[in-house]
Amino acid sequence: MTSKATASMREHPAFAHLEAALAAANTPRAAHVMLRVDADDARLALMHAHAKHQQPTPALFGWTVSVKDLFDVAGQVTGAGAPSRAHLPPAQTDAPAVARLKAAGAIVVGRSNMTEFAFSGVGVNPHWGTPANPADTHTPRITGGSSSGAAASVGLGIADIGLGSDTGGSLRIPAALCGLVGFKGTAGVVPLSGAYPLSTSLDTVGAITATVDQAIAVHQVLAQQPVAHWAKPLSHLRLGVCSTVMQDGLDSTVQAAWDRSLQRLRDAGVTIVNVDTSCFGEITSIQHQQPLASVEAYGLHKAWLREHESEYDPRVLKRIRLGSAASAADYIAMQQQRQALKHSVAALLQTVDAVISPTVPITAPAIAQVAPGTERDDVFFATNAQLLRNPSTVNFVDGCAISLPCHLGQELPVGLMVWHSAGMDAQVLGIAKQLADNVLAQPL
């Protein structure tokens, strides 16, 4: 390629967009957000994408991507946020999720930080540091996890797409706490291969973005299927609310945002109906007694622990070891309970277009409250349980869900979760777009 052609190519807005993203990754606010930034590779990839795809332009051409550290990227070690994996050989191929984004013209800028082994909704990592929430420039606050770096990268402008995973809320929790959009699709819609597992039956692959439109565009690429247009007017929309469990223990900021959102929906003509929540309490109780994620994680980590236990984050290790007491019979019974509850919830939701709830009941606490240290363990585990409660209920019944910002500009971010049962991804995304465009974004 001639120097003149190269210079002309660099006049494309995508090149300025990439340079702005790379500059954002090198600011003090981006400390601990990215585990590595591959600036030269990103520039080269954009040049190749531009030269290859003149017409038609790919769906995500020039969009920047941060890749959560649990996805395989060819030539890189998949660390899963854990130093115990640093000595492993690099991946030979990209994970399908990464490959699909690249094929659609998106540019990977680097690997994002995460909770070790993706096992916490708080986002603290004692090994590589904890990213600070971009939404508060005064007090360092958690981003939430486990996709902590993914959310921070989008909030700071490093990435348009924070590729991540969601086992009990790992996309929606950080999206809610950072004022972003996080979508968790039905399990199995996006391939899990090439992603380090936490829970073989709960894991899903998705992304954090700034808008619902971006979430839809990314999901279409990751799932390799179009999202059908949702055309039902707001005046014909029926949304369910859970009067207990999911609305329990809301802090004052979340309560105000929730009440205001409900009023806006009613003012827009949306019908709000109560949904029987008795089974949600049963799900919470089951998860508290014997967390399914812990049982499956222990099975995955048992052999690795024999040599590397001392290298684990003690808090992550504690949660993994909760699964050690479960027998095969216990696991089978747990999955049977889960299937029964999945069918019960699906039947309950047949009368509504979707369910809405606060994504999490609290705003982001200061990092200092939950930073590594045994003296803060009680606060950490209590915070983790609060953050996981609502989103993990959806995962337990294999639902699909999205978190939307619903706070005012001067408030700490609050998320509103729109969700439904398995297979309703397009409907949830369509309703989310309607609410984001016509209800939640409207000035008071």
Tens digits of per-residue pLDDT, 126-149?
A: 999 999 999 999 999 999 999 999
pLDDT tens, position by position, 48-82: 988 876 667 899 999 999 999 999 999 999 999 99
If you average pLDDT over every residue of the chain, what do you get?
94
Q: In which residue ranges of the chain is pLDDT below 70?
A: 1-10, 53-55, 442-444
Q: What pLDDT is attached to residue 185?
A: 98
Single-letter amino acid, residue 310: S
pLDDT at residue 5, as a whole number = 47
pLDDT value, residue 289: 73
Residues designated as active site: 68, 146, 170
* Domains of the chain as residue ranges with CATH: 13-236+362-444 (3.90.1300.10)
